[in-house]
Amino acid sequence: MSDETRLPEERSIAKETLKRVKLTEVWLVILTGVIAASSVTTCYVYSRQLDVMQDTLNEIRTGGIDTHSLARASSKQATALTDSIGPATTSAAKAAETSAKNSDRIARGSEAAVGATQASMRLDQRAWIGFKGFRDLHLEIGKPPSVTIVFVNTGKTPAVGARISSYIEYVPPHNSPSQQAPGSIDEASNAIIHPGQETWSVLNKSDFLLTSAIADAIALRTGNLYVRTVITYDDIFAKHHATHYCGIASRDLTSIGSCANGNYSD
């Protein structure tokens, strides 16, 4: 091939190559523009999102400050309310406590007054069994001593379940009388003793004989003959009572007087 023939062909190839290069550059420019536009759009979106986030953060901060301020204001109001209500509540509580104490004191006083009235009423209305005296006294030499012991209800209501127990005791010279309670019970005792009614017990010491020596000792007061008796009973208020009596025979054995001790009732 000659030079003349080859030259147009090469020119044609060069043009085609140049055309292709230019087309590629155009596409690169277009792609670069698209990428740049996308980057700008992304940056804009991110920027807007950042602005929104910043605004939200500012609102949160502002809200937090407002909330804190509100909390502090509420705390101050609560403190002020507590300070104002506290003394009033304390005063009311103290007043209520004082009132309760006064009520309790009044109730206790009323209860004590009622108790005292009740006790006084029962004391006035209860049965009172007292020793009235001796009857049918027999203190004869050579015979067992015997005597009838008499009690009477001087109260205003009956005595219930009355029982009498008694004994006769001779105390030889230089001896002391027994302090034991009477043990023998007179089964003939009245179970109920009405106001003003008498009850009695016949006491016989069949295992003891009154000798001349004993009578002489009694006359000289070197020996003594004692009669001890006790009556037990309940009043109508179900309270138990007892009356004790101690008697001592006279020197001439014609009567029995009261001992210096051992006479009491409840």
Domain residue ranges of the chain, discontinuous segments joined by +: 1-93, 129-265
Query: What span, in angstroms and rounded, lies between the C-alpha atoms of 162 and 201?
Result: 12
Give me the pLDDT at residue 262, please.
87
Please give the pLDDT value at position 2. Answer: 46
Residue-wise pLDDT for 83-126, tens only, equals 665 666 677 767 777 877 787 788 888 888 888 888 888 889 99
The helix or strand, by DSSP H or E, that contains position 210, with its residue range, turns out to be none
Query: For the segment 231-249, what is each residue's pLDDT rounded down to a tens digit?
Result: 999 999 999 999 999 999 9
pLDDT at residue 130, as a whole number: 94
The fourth-level CATH superfamily of domain 129-265 is Immunoglobulins (2.60.40.10)
> Which residues have a Cβ under 8 Å from the Cβ of 163 and sit 6 or more positions away?
185, 186, 189, 231, 232, 233
pLDDT (0 to 100) of residue 43: 45
What is the reported pLDDT for 254? 94
pLDDT at 146 > cutoff 80: yes
The pLDDT mean for the chain works out to 78
- Which parts of the chain fold into alpha helices (H)? 3-125, 212-220
Angle at 186 (CA atoms; ends 185, 190), nearest 5 degrees: 120
Give the pLDDT confidence score for residue 109 in this predicted structure. Answer: 81
Residue 41 has a pLDDT of: 60
Alpha-carbon dihedral 97, 101, 103, 105, rounded to 10 degrees: 180
Q: Which residue has the higher pLDDT, 2 or 106?
A: 106
pLDDT band, very low/low/confident/very high, at 187 (cuts 50, 70, 90) = very low
- More confident: 127 or 75: 127
User: What does the pLDDT look like over 50-77, one tens digit per residue?
Assistant: 565 566 656 655 655 555 565 566 566 6
Q: Tell me the C-alpha to C-alpha distance, in Å, between residue 106 and each of 91, 92, 113, 118, 140.
A: 22, 20, 10, 18, 66
User: What's the chain's length in residues?
Assistant: 266
